[in-house]
């Protein structure tokens, strides 16, 4: 589905020093800060439909390449991609733009840092918009061991990503093919079973994907090229390192476990998003007393703000008007 024509607003790019690392910010508009964090394997570009809409409505929209992605810095240490660093990046961006509080919006891997920031520094959080990833109760033990027990001999991408160099060796040389298959296979346009269940032994991520003859309407060849050209240049190590911190994040989260999120909160997800099967949204209800609305977008998959930009923008702007 294509978006409505974007308002004619200036899009500004700059490099800033944040939390000991350089981040690439992409900004539009003036007003209260709305900071947009993307997921895997994406870029600031994933918010291309939200930036002009937010700016036209009177907000200072700030998308950015997360650490390890695109034109942002790419620290060497895996530990530099843990949830504390990612949350501190959000707070650092807020400091750079000079605001005491901001609205934090996250999708996929952009969402856990938003949840953590709302728990670690609630005084800096005006409101939360989480997409695709609900806040889940802290698990009873380290997540990787739990995943191994659940999935056994079945391929599970998070376990496949754990060994440094393995997924990079498969994906780095095939960025265009990977993005074509991955973005399609967990979108609302893909038929059931497009992300295939495979044995763990001898399986790579590309083996699990379905590759469309034609791209869905929401993803143009130019869009795909933007992703593919960037990741061909940068590789996937930075984004994969987020996944290599599951256990470290679990340990760190003990410091704020049980902190309820009181800030006004909106949750948005696609009806066909497979993440909702792993993390049902109703599990977050007792953890987020500030939750005002859950919007499940009919027909959309995991890439909800790209697949259904008009519906997402409408929900986002309605929520923000109520918050402010």
User: Residues with catalytic annotation?
Assistant: 108, 302
Q: For residue 85, what is the enclosing H or E element?
A: helix 83-97
The rounded distance, in Å, linking the Cα atoms of 46 and 44 is 5
Instruction: Tell me if 250 sits within 8 A of 143, measured CB to CB.
Output: yes
DSSP letter string, 171-187: HGGGHHHHHHHHHHHTS
Residue 12 DSSP label: E
Nearest to 265 by CA among 30, 98, 106: 106
- Our separate counts of H helices and E strands in the chain read 13, 8
**How many Cα atoms are found within 13 Å in the side-chain-facing hemisphere of 297?**
27
Element containing residue 320 per DSSP (H, E) = helix 309-323
Q: How far apart are CA 201 and CA 184, in angstroms?
A: 24
Please work out, in degrees rounded to the nearest 5, the angle formed at the alpha carbon of residue 115 by the alpha carbons of 114 and 116. Answer: 90
On the CB side of 239, CA atoms within 13 Å amount to 23
**Can you name the residues that pair with 105 across neighbouring β-strands?**
36, 129
Task: Report how far residue 171's alpha carbon sits from residue 165's, in angstroms, rounded to the nearest whole number.
Answer: 10
């Amino acid at each position: 589905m294509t978006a409505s024509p974007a308002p004619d607003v200036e899009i500004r790019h700059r490099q800033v020093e944040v939390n000991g690392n350089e981040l690439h910010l992409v900004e539009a508009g003036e007003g209260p800060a709305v900071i947009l964090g993307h997921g895997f394997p994406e870029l600031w570009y994933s918010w291309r439909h939200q930036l002009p809409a937010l700016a036209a409505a009177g907000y200072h929209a700030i998308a950015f390449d997360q650490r390890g992605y695109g034109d942002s810095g790419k620290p060497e240490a895996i530990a530099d991609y843990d949830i504390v660093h990612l949350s501190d990046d959000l707070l650092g961006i807020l400091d750079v733009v000079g605001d005491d509080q901001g609205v934090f919006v996250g999708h996929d891997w952009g969402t856990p840092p938003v949840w953590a920031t709302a728990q670690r520094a609630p005084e800096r959080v005006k409101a939360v918009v989480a997409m695709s990833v609900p806040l889940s109760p802290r698990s009873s033990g380290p997540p990787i061991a739990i995943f191994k027990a659940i999935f056994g001999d079945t391929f599970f991408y998070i376990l496949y990503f754990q060994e440094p160099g393995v997924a990079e060796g498969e994906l780095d040389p095939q960025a265009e093919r990977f993005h074509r298959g991955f973005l399609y296979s967990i979108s609302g346009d893909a038929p059931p079973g497009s992300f295939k269940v495979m044995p763990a032994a001898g399986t790579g991520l590309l083996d699990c994907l379905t590759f469309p003859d034609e791209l869905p309407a929401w993803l143009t060849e130019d869009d795909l090229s933007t992703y593919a050209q960037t990741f061909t240049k940068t590789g996937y190590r930075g984004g994969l390192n987020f996944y290599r911190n599951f256990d470290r994040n679990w340990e760190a989260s003990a410091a704020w476990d049980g902190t309820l999120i009181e800030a006004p909160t909106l949750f948005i997800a696609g009806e066909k998003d497979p993440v909702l099967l792993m993390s049902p949204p109703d599990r977050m209800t007792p953890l987020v007393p500030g939750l005002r609305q859950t919007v499940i977008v009919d027909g959309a998959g995991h890439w909800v703000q790209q697949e259904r930009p008009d519906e997402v923008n409408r929900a986002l702007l309605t929520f923000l008007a109520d918050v402010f």
